[in-house]
Amino acid sequence: MPTSTHDIFTELIVQEVGSQLKTVTCGNTDIAAVIDSVRSESTSDVYLYGHEPIDERYPKYTPDASFARADSQYPSIVIETSYSQQYKDLVKLAAEYICGSDGNIGVVLGLDIEYGVGSKRASISIWRPGFAPYPQNKGVILKTVGVQEADPFRADDGTTVQGRGLSLQLCDFVPRTGFANVPPDTQSMTVIQIT
C-alpha cells in the first residue's frame, strides 16, 4: 500500500515533468499543437490488450502516474514508484507494460525509494521497447530494454548523488507519426531534464 511519501514523491515528479513540458514549443506551432494534446492521466487503469485474455478479461494495471495523448489507447509514459525490496517486481512490471501494449507504451520510468529507518537512498530506472531477432531469422520479437537501471540520485543519508537523472525526448510523449510537420531531429530533442 502506498504511503504519503510514495504518493508525494510521484506527484512531485509528475508536476515537474508537466511544468517542463509546458515550456516546450521552440516557437514552433506544430510542436505546440502536439504537446497541448499530452496530459497526465494520473492513476488511470491500463488494459494490456497485447496479452492473451484470462477468463475473457485482459490484464489491467494501475500505474502510479502516466502521460498520454488525449486520443491514445495507451499512455506513452508510465511511472511506477517502488519500495527497494520490490525492485525485481518493478523490472517485471516494466516488461508487462511494454510487451502487453505491443510496444505502444514507449517508456516505463521506475522510481525506487527506500522507506527503511536510516536510509533515504533513491534510484531511477528507465525501460523502453526493443527488438530481438526471432530464432532462425523468422522476424523479430518485442522485448523490454533497460536503458538506465538503478541509477542512484540520492544516497543513504539523503544527499544528492550526481547521476544521469531523468531525460525524456519529445518523441517519448507522442509517437513519431504524431509529428507530421516536425523534422526528425526536433522530434528527438531532449525536452525534460531532471537531475
28-74 pLDDT per residue, tens? 777 787 788 889 998 889 988 877 777 778 888 999 999 998 888 89
3-state secondary structure of 13: helix
Torsion, Cα 172 174 175 180, to 10 degrees, reads: -130
CB atoms near residue 68 (< 10 Å): 23
pLDDT of 167 strictly over 80: yes
Instruction: Select from 188, 96, 173 the least CA-distant residue to 142.
Output: 96
pLDDT of 80 strictly over 90: yes
| 127 close to 94: Cβ distance less than 8 angstroms | yes
Instruction: Select from 168, 173, 194, 166 the least CA-distant residue to 32.
Output: 173
Average pLDDT over residues 144-169: 88
| 70 close to 39: Cβ distance less than 8 angstroms | yes
Average pLDDT over residues 159-181: 82
Say if residue 182 is exposed, middle or buried (CB neighbours under 10 Å; 0-12, 13-18, 19+).
buried
Instruction: Please give the model's pTM, rounded to 2 decimal places.
Output: 0.88
pLDDT of 108 strictly over 80: yes
Q: Residues of the chain with pLDDT > 70: what percent?
A: 93
- Give the confidence band of 97 by pLDDT, cuts at 50, 70, 90: very high
Q: How far is CA 80 from CA 2, 116, 136, in A?
A: 11, 19, 36
Q: Which residue has the cell 506527484?
A: 11
pLDDT of residue 104: 92
Q: pLDDT: is 50 or 125 the higher one?
A: 125
Q: Which residue has the cell 517485471?
A: 92
- Give the confidence band of 2 by pLDDT, cuts at 50, 70, 90: low
| 15 close to 22: Cβ distance less than 8 angstroms | no
pLDDT of 15 strictly over 90: yes
3-state secondary structure of 99: helix
Give the whole-angstrom CA distance, residue 89 versus residue 82.
9
